[in-house]
Structure 1
């Protein structure tokens, strides 16, 4: 998949709007291709998404998320998403993801994450939601990270 794949953008943005009742991308008359590019290149928040494998792997991370976590596109999209949290945080993260599965989305999440460099940081006010395509097939989960803070 390419970072600006229109079908994936549609999955992420429609799932978000369906569950939260508001658009992920500001409606400024953008074409789907322009909106997909904006989300990948210019969004002021990080977006991550993982698939539905038993050990989910990231399938998307916009440039903001790549900078936060210190991975390139190819590195990030080969990474099991559990590795974005330190081992002590993983059980908390898993319980949170189960809540997202049950409720469809969770808003206002905060938790400690770890960059590729080992640097720890806190994500704050994050929204995590289920990705369902137009046929109702579950495709994974996505997260919007609007704010981070340093730990230390």
Structure 2
């Protein structure tokens, strides 16, 4: 019996141990302004948690990302004027409305859009799961993000889960028709503030005949906070 017991002990010592599943520790401060609570705030809480680790842009070599590389709009990157000209020319072509004072607007003229406190201009690239690539100052303030965070965030995260189906339908409509000029919908900032967008233009962005992204334009002063 003693020999048998020793053999069992020896077998236990040399047998491979099963790996232990890692334990995730959640700090009390995580979960955005809702602190990880569920209940009435679980949808917004889940949304904010998802935004803590934004996806890397899928198309780093795409036109949209190439023309907005180099950080936030500034004199050093000529205010991303080439991209803004594409937004402007595409909007002019489909709707007759303009963002810039002229199709060949200078970088200095483009800076007024980028630095506006009221004119919200955003765009995303042409990836299958589009990622934001441009935002005016008014847009960054409205979504409460810096440039680096915003331009690494999939644009679907700009809406709460319940709003994403309607948003996807909007983008399908824009893809087919070229633009809409009467969009209204609810969006949410990084801190959980909900706001209603009113009378927004949403349109396809083209370089030649190639669709390279989509963009939206509206007034921050026209938004209603909920």
Partner of residue 139 from structure 1, selected from 204, 212, 215? 212
Partner of residue 112 from structure 1, selected from 186, 189, 202? 186
Q: Are 1:149 and 2:205 matched, yes or no? A: no
TM-score norm. by structure 2 comes to 0.63
Q: How many residues align?
A: 148
Structure 1 residue 93, shift from structure 2 partner: 0.3
Partner of residue 20 from structure 1, selected from 62, 79, 95? 95
Q: Is the 8 A contact 2:85 2:105 kept in 1?
A: no
Q: 1:17 to 1:8 in 2, by over 3 A?
A: same
Structure 1 residue 31, shift from structure 2 partner: 4.4
Structure number with higher strand proportion: 1
Give the match for residue 6 of structure 1. Answer: 81
Q: Secondary structure, in 3 states, of the residue corresponding to 2:115?
A: helix
Partner of residue 45 from structure 1, selected from 119, 122, 126? 119
RMSD of Structure 2 on Structure 1 (CA): 1.4
User: CA separation in 2, counterparts of 1:139 and 1:89?
Assistant: 24
TM-score norm. by structure 1 comes to 0.92
- Structure 1 unmatched ranges of 5 or more: none
Give the match for residue 68 of structure 1. Answer: 142
Structure number with higher helix proportion: 2
